[in-house]
């Protein structure tokens, strides 16, 4: 009877150690912030209230622009050499995969743990409609 208890205790300890090691190194980053800004889609302009950014360790990015409408954008991110307060974005698509092409920049807070701003210039290759976003966190 004592062996099953010790095996169970050992398995629990190994599980706890593996979870604590994983918790120390985040694999993905999710940041959201409210603020003020605007997004222009073709000739229409909307107030931009919030931004949610998901950055994945493999360089992929997902961005949600929250306004009267919500716009979902996919792409990749990279850190420019010598600049630790911004990230470059390359927009490659949206939820319907592909179709969008453009660039942008995420401006980071002083502690580099949050979003201070976002700028995007994107073109829908199918409709030829442009998307221009300019956002500043509060």
The closest alpha carbon to 61, from 21, 19, 110, 102, belongs to: 102
This prediction's pTM: 0.75
Residue pLDDT, tens place only, 54-76: 999 999 999 999 999 899 999 99
Percent of the chain with pLDDT over 70: 78
What confidence score (pLDDT) does residue 95 get? 62
118 membership: H or E segment, kind and range: strand 115-124
What confidence score (pLDDT) does residue 96 get? 61
What confidence score (pLDDT) does residue 28 get? 81
Q: What gap in Å lies between CA 84 and CA 113, rounded to an integer? A: 11
Per-residue confidence band for 126, with pLDDT thresholds at 50, 70 and 90 = confident
Q: For residue 128, give the 3-state DSSP assignment.
A: coil
Contact 71, 131 (CB under 8 A): yes
Residue pLDDT, tens place only, 12-34: 444 444 444 444 445 788 888 99
DSSP codes of every residue in 44-84: EEEE--EEEEEEETTSEEEEEEESSSEEEEEEEEEPPTT-S
Mean residue pLDDT across the chain: 81
Hey, what domains does the chain have and what are their CATH numbers? 26-137 (2.40.128)
């Amino acid at each position: 009877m004592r062996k099953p208890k010790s095996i169970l205790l050992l398995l629990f300890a190994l599980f706890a150690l593996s979870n604590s090691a994983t918790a120390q190194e985040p694999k993905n980053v999710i940041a959201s912030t409210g603020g003020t800004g605007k997004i222009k889609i073709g000739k229409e302009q909307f107030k931009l209230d919030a931004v949610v950014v998901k950055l994945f360790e493999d360089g992929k990015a997902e961005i949600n622009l929250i306004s009267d409408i919500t716009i979902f954008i996919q792409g990749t991110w990279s850190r420019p050499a010598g600049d630790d307060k911004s990230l470059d974005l390359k927009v490659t698509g949206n939820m319907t995969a592909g179709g969008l092409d453009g660039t942008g920049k995420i401006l980071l807070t002083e502690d580099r743990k949050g979003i201070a701003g976002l700028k995007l210039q994107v073109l829908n290759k199918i409709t030829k409609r442009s998307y221009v976003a300019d956002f500043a966190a509060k």
